[in-house]
Structure 1
């Protein structure tokens, strides 16, 4: 069984009387979007209603993201996302006791500007598939009913991320210090590998391997 199918079956086995919330975490270039898209399609093919959201829709503007300096690892880890609005507009409404009325994004990173989206109403048995870095942070971990950590070494993830414009393809480049050291800070503080429900080796996008 492919890891994506394994995760889909585990998620579908969760109680369906409320929105089930799934996070896909990993370093930049780990393949989070690719895996989350595949998971969403797998769940949809099995009859589920999927709410597909990316953390990038809750990025802070550059003045906030870079307030500690454009090369700051701590700034990358602590200032990249607007967690207040992510929780208030997306995660709380889709959690037990929430009203189910959510907003899927507030920021367009490609255009580097705020966006306004109308609220959407989730079906009671919908599944949120959320991908993004740092999703096992202390303030977010309680929101996930199921979570995935994609294990990929930096010598693979950094060139992969550079193909879509994040950093330099050389993992040793000083331009990557922000991303690598920021991720190391996150791992040291939050231990996402241990917090995740499952760990998947995603070094080979075409052949992911379930580790735990």
Structure 2
């Protein structure tokens, strides 16, 4: 496997995307967002698609191809995203370092941010009308964190409040 995959994990609103963007600039890496696989209805159980359509092909030095989820349309987009094998590819998003992905990861980062800060960031981005969705989403994330302990298994933990 010539592509080293770096996971940037953490709960919603923790600062994962910001950290991933900074790291991608430094590593000249492309980013795969778990938000292209998740939805409000399926916040965490989308992982087989990312594994099969991105991680497996990259592990075999093949191009990855997937159709991203369009949050506004509520459906997969027609035009696929193609990710070429490279020195580094970043997988960014909630549960990006889950157990099912660990065989494909070279390094994982957990972004730690207090719950109230994360919720405020999410509502600032999505609007106050998304409060019920955020409550449900955060409950799903809590189950993932308790089940898999991603912070405890991370190669690095960073403070998402900075």
Number of matched pairs: 162
Q: Structure 2 CA distance, aligned partners of 1:178 and 1:138?
A: 22
Aligned residue number for residue 10 of structure 1: none
Aligned residue number for residue 145 of structure 1: 106
Given candidates 35, 50, 64, the residue that maps to 1:102 is 64
Higher helix share: 2
Q: Structure 2 CA distance, aligned partners of 1:134 and 1:118?
A: 22
Q: Look up the SS of the partner of 1:89 in the other structure.
A: helix
Q: Structure 2 CA distance, aligned partners of 1:174 and 1:117?
A: 31
The reply on whether 1:203 has 2:149 as its aligned counterpart is no
C-alpha distance 192-113 of structure 1, shift in aligned 2 (>3 A): same
Q: 1:84 Cα shift? A: 2.0
Higher relative contact order (CA 8 A, sep 6+): 2
Unaligned runs of 5+ in 1: 1-16, 45-49, 66-75, 205-212
Q: 1:118 Cα shift? A: 4.8
1:136/1:190 contact within 8 Å kept: no
Unaligned runs of 5+ in 2: none
Deviations 1:4-47 (A, max 9, x none): xxxxxxxxxxxxx7001011011110011111011111112xxx
Q: Structure 2 CA distance, aligned partners of 1:93 and 1:202?
A: 31
The reply on whether 1:54 has 2:30 as its aligned counterpart is no
CA root-mean-square deviation = 2.5
Aligned residue number for residue 186 of structure 1: 144
C-alpha distance 147-200 of structure 1, shift in aligned 2 (>3 A): same
Report the TM-score when normalising by structure 2: 0.86
Aligned residue number for residue 19 of structure 1: 3
Q: Structure 2 CA distance, aligned partners of 1:174 and 1:120?
A: 34
Higher strand share: 2
2:8/2:20 contact within 8 Å kept: yes
C-alpha distance 121-200 of structure 1, shift in aligned 2 (>3 A): closer
Q: 1:116 Cα shift? A: 3.2
Paired residues for 1:24-173 under 5 Å = 24-44=8-28, 50-60=29-39, 64-65=41-42, 76-77=43-44, 79=45, 82-95=46-59, 98-118=60-80, 120=82, 122-123=84-85, 125-165=86-126
